[in-house]
């Protein structure tokens, strides 16, 4: 018997149904307006704390017990023990519970624990272990009043203890499904399941090209060059079209009251991120969303003890669930995300990276975007922007590239209704759609771009929202090269996966979407691969002229002109999109870095050829990017400017007033002094400092960078 069937027969299914936590709590209040879930702890919590919890519960639509836990007044376990005692039943720690006591298979066990339900076999029959959430405790207490014998069939525990029980007894199944579900259920979309005919055809084609180049190099070059040039120019043309798309702002929708907001799950996959954890949690804590309706899941490799220890040291009131992902190949971010997804409680799920710093209103903006469109919109992408722009010339180039990609290119594709190759973080999804389509491909090292295309093929849309997530870019060439290699390799995987059946792809995406995919994904890779040859051919012809003894000088001249045009148009297009993106972000003083566009292209070509080698030799290798090394921060600089303006305003008012500065004003000026001193320091320990600044910024209530001038970012 499944957990769901047992729960239904037991009469508690309604209290734990998906979305129950998002139902306004006031719908379940007795006529007298009391909060029965607080009865078990009224003697132990001061009246002021109880009143606060009741007011908060009415405002946000959650249980008063959840409000108390979120405020740090009581722990989830202490409340569960008090509730069990009040209902004259037991608290179940689950520490010594054997797997054989749970009479369901591993898949049902995972699903049940994620829903807060766990059946255990006892001598007298089955007992249901409950981890109350949302307004479930209130409903349980109300049911118990009508039937005092009802609670005897149940025990209470916490979500954390249930997760530990699952990982202890069904961890192998959890990670196996994380690795193999897409491969087994939708093999056409998995990079782990290449079709033998496609692989054979690709090898034969490469062998024929190599043989032709050996026997007749001139003829082969003459035949291939126009084809490569057309694809390359098609990619550049798509970028220009996206830049020319009118950037209309959607009509604002009315703000959604807190009581109507759904549960929102935030998932972050962390590996060797001890330096970044505190800053990430501080950034999440600053998000403008009821903490009672946040569901934060941190997926950490089980053997990454340093990151797990860093999480344990963080004193955060966020409702955090840590999922230690059992070690198994492939060791990739999408595998960790898949392991976390079964535990997601929210109607919506967003993915952040360890170094991400989203704007506080991002979740609300995402919900407005979902509300503005129909059911076909399954994902919204926030814009990504580099935070440590001033660290090096590489980070400045990175800033320009991100401005071109997220603020111009992806934004244009979104307005045109074309498929989006999603960015690596700040992707917001309907949770049920994400599960339905197989979630992330653990064998694709750019799982984001692949997922965007799969959504489009299955009939869903993605859109870009005007909200920014700030990220840290590698400041040194080695880490930059490894990161770009992974990206290029993932785009190669994505192109090969979706081109297994070209006619079906054309049917799924339509002609416009099909060619957008070819140019946005395939053209992106091809452009980086052929660029050094185009550049070398054009330069050689300009310097040395046509080869001596060449019979067809006209052909050589045409090829050289074709190469030169492609190179120059490529440089111009990249610089133009970056200029537009930097302009939209108010970062034109950084535009001088665009003079290094030719160098950037050569570096991209090196990364692309390195990716081509890994695509054959190590397709699932994930080269980790280290974070927490930034020396500068545009967000902190904006904070300093805001504090400086505040100081001027306060001193101006003080000069015209008979009263001295208030204590609050003096505290804010002191914060300015402290922040200015700290922002002048370079770091290693900058990750800890940024966490303190994030907290201070929240407490001072100072404004963020305006989204009109500056907005977003990714891994």
**Amino acid 10: pLDDT:** 39
Q: Span 309-323, mean pLDDT? A: 91
**How big is the CA angle at 694 (ends 691 and 695), to the nearest 5 degrees?**
90
Q: How confident is the model at residue 418 (pLDDT cuts 50, 70, 90)?
A: very high
pLDDT at res. 714: 38
Residue 11 has pLDDT above 70, yes or no: no
Q: 159-185 and 76-86 helices cross at what angle (nearest 10)?
A: 110
Among 167-176, 528-537, 670-679, name the most confident range. 167-176
**pLDDT score of 33:** 56
Give the pLDDT mean for 265-276.
Answer: 95
Residue 284 near residue 352 (C-beta atoms within 8 A): yes
Q: Which residues make Cβ contacts (< 8 Å) with residue 187, sequence separation at least 6?
A: 193
- The closest of 178, 314, 211, 191 to 692, measured between CA atoms, is 314
The Cα–Cα gap between 30 and 6 comes to: 28
Q: What is the pLDDT of residues 201-236, one digit of tens each?
A: 666 766 776 676 666 666 666 677 777 788 888 888
Helix (H, G, I), strand (E, B) or coil at 32: coil
Buried b (16+ CB within 10 A) or exposed e, 569-605: bbbebbbbbbbbbbebbebeebbebbeebeebbebbb
For range 651-664, the mean pLDDT = 61
Angle 581-585-591 from CA coordinates, rounded to 5°: 60
220 CA to centre of own chain: 44
pLDDT surpassing 50 at residue 279: yes
Element (H, E) at 677: helix 663-679
Please tell me which residue, 642 or 356, carries the higher pLDDT value. Answer: 356
- Give the per-residue pLDDT at 147: 78
Residue 712 has pLDDT above 50, yes or no: no
Kindly report, residue by residue over 497-535, the tens digit of the pLDDT.
999 999 999 999 999 999 999 999 999 998 899 898 888
Query: How many other CB atoms are there within 10 angstroms of residue 501's CB atom?
Result: 13
**pLDDT value, residue 515:** 94
Q: pLDDT for 592-634, tens place per residue?
A: 999 999 999 999 999 999 999 999 888 898 888 888 888 888 8
Distance CA 45, CA 79 (A): 11
Is the Cβ–Cβ distance between 154 and 12 less than 8 Å?
yes
pLDDT at 545: 66
Name, in order, each residue with C-beta under 8 angstroms of 426's C-beta and a sequence gap of 6 or more: 350, 351, 352, 356, 358, 362, 381, 382, 383, 384, 467, 469, 712, 713, 714
Using CA atoms, how far apart are residues 605 and 534, in angstroms rounded to an integer? 11
What is the number of helices (H) and of strands (E) in the chain?
25, 12
Put residue 337 in one of left, alpha, beta given phi > 0 → left and psi -120 to 50 → alpha.
alpha
Helix (H) or strand (E) holding 295: strand 294-301
Q: Which two structure tokens, joined as six digits, stand for 257? A: 């009251």
Q: How far is CA 136 from the centre of its chain?
A: 29
Residue 538 confidence class, pLDDT cut points 50, 70, 90? confident
Mean pLDDT of 470-497: 95
> Which of 325-329, 533-537, 588-592 has the highest mean predicted lDDT (pLDDT)?
588-592
Specify the pTM.
Answer: 0.85
Residues 6+ positions from 383 with CB-CB distance below 8 Å = 406, 407, 410, 411, 426, 464, 465, 466, 467, 468, 469, 711, 712, 713
- Across 141-145, 327-331, 426-430, the highest mean pLDDT is recorded for 426-430
- The pLDDT of 125-154, averaged and rounded, is 84
Q: Average pLDDT, whole number, for the chain?
A: 83
**CB-CB contact of 668 with 646 (8 Å):** yes
- Predicted confidence (pLDDT) at residue 342 exceeds the cutoff of 80: yes
Q: For residue 694, name the pLDDT band (cuts at 50, 70, 90).
A: very low
- The Cα–Cα gap between 487 and 466 comes to 24
Tokens 């259920």 appear where?
185
Q: Which residues contact 454 (CB under 8 A, 6 or more apart)?
A: 189, 437, 438
Residue 28 has pLDDT above 60, yes or no: no
Q: How far apart, in Å, do the first and last CA atoms of the chain sit? A: 44
Q: What is the mean pLDDT of residues 296-306?
A: 95
More confident residue, 671 or 684: 671
pLDDT of residue 221: 66
Residues 594 and 400: beta-carbon distance below 8 Å? yes
Percent of the chain as helix, strand, coil, to the nearest 5? 60, 10, 30
pLDDT on residue 552: 61
Tens of pLDDT, residues 390-410: 999 999 999 999 999 999 999
Q: What is the pLDDT of residue 296?
A: 97
- Find the mean pLDDT for residues 239-245: 88
The answer, yes or no, to whether residue 422 has pLDDT greater than 70, is yes
- The span from the CA of 408 to the CA of 1, in Å, is 53
Task: Give the pLDDT of residue 52.
Answer: 93
């Amino acid at each position: 018997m499944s957990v769901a069937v047992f729960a239904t027969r037991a009469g508690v299914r309604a209290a734990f149904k998906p979305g129950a936590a998002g139902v306004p709590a006031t719908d379940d209040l007795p006529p007298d307006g009391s909060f029965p879930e607080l009865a078990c702890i009224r003697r132990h919590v001061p009246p002021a704390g109880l009143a606060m919890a009741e007011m908060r519960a009415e405002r946000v639509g959650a249980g008063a017990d959840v409000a108390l836990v979120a405020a740090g007044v009581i722990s989830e376990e202490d409340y569960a023990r008090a509730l069990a005692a009040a209902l004259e039943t037991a608290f179940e720690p689950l520490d010594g519970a054997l797997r054989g006591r749970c009479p369901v298979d591993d898949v049902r066990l995972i699903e049940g624990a994620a829903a807060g339900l766990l059946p255990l076999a006892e001598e007298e029959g089955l007992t249901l272990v409950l981890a109350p959430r949302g307004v479930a405790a209130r409903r349980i207490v109300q049911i118990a009043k009508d039937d005092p014998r009802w609670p005897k069939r149940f025990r209470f525990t916490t979500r954390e203890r249930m997760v530990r029980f699952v990982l202890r007894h069904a961890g192998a199944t959890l990670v196996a499904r994380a690795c193999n579900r897409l491969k087994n259920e939708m093999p056409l979309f998995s990079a782990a399941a290449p079709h033998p005919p496609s692989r054979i055809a690709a090898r034969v084609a490469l062998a024929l090209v190599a043989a032709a180049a050996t026997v007749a190099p001139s003829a082969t070059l003459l035949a291939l060059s126009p084809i490569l040039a057309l694809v390359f120019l098609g990619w550049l043309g798509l970028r220009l079209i996206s830049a020319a798309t009118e950037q209309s702002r959607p009509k604002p929708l009315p703000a959604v009251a807190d009581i109507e907001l759904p549960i929102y799950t935030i998932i972050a996959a962390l590996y060797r991120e001890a330096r970044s954890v505190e800053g990430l949690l501080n950034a999440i804590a600053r998000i403008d969303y009821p903490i009672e309706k946040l569901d934060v899941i941190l997926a950490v490799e089980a053997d990454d003890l340093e990151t797990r220890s860093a999480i344990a040291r963080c004193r955060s009131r966020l409702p955090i669930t840590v999922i230690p992902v059992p070690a198994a190949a492939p060791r990739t971010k999408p595998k960790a995300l898949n392991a976390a997804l079964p535990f997601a409680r929210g109607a919506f799920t967003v993915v952040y990276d360890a170094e991400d710093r989203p704007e506080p209103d991002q979740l609300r903006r995402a919900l407005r975007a979902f509300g503005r469109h129909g059911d076909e919109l399954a994902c919204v992408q926030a814009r990504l922007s580099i935070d440590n722009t001033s660290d090096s010339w590489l980070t400045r180039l990175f800033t320009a590239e991100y401005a071109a990609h997220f603020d111009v290119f992806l934004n244009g594709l979104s307005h045109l209704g074309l498929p989006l190759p999603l960015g690596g973080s700040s992707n917001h999804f309907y949770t049920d759609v994400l599960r339905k389509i197989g979630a992330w491909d653990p064998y694709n090292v750019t799982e984001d771009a692949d997922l965007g295309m799969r959504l489009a093929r299955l009939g869903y849309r993605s859109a870009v929202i005007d909200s920014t997530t700030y990220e840290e870019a590698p400041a040194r060439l080695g880490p930059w090269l490894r990161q770009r290699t992974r990206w290029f390799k993932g785009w190669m995987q994505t192109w090969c996966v979706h081109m297994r059946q070209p006619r079906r792809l054309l049917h799924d995406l339509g002609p416009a979407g099909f060619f957008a995919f070819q140019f946005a994904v395939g053209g992106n890779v091809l452009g980086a691969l052929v660029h050094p040859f185009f550049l070398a051919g054009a330069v050689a012809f300009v310097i040395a002229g046509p080869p001596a003894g060449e019979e067809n000088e006209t052909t050589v001249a045409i090829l050289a002109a074709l190469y030169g045009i492609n190179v120059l148009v490529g440089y111009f297009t990249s610089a133009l999109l970056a200029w537009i993106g930097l302009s939209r972000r108010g970062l034109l003083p950084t535009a001088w870095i665009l003079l290094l566009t030719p160098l950037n292209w050569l570096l991209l070509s090196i990364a692309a050829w390195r990716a081509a080698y890994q695509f054959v030799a190590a397709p699932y290798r994930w080269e980790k990017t280290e974070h927490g090394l930034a020396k500068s921060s545009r967000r902190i600089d904006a904070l300093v400017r805001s504090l400086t303006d505040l100081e001027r305003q306060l001193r101006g008012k003080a000069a015209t007033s008979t009263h001295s500065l208030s204590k609050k004003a003096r505290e804010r000026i002191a914060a300015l002094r402290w922040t200015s001193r700290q922002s002048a320091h370079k770091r290693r320990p900058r990750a800890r400092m940024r966490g303190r600044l994030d907290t201070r910024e929240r407490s001072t209530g100072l404004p963020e960078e305006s989204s009109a001038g500056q907005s977003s970012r990714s891994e």
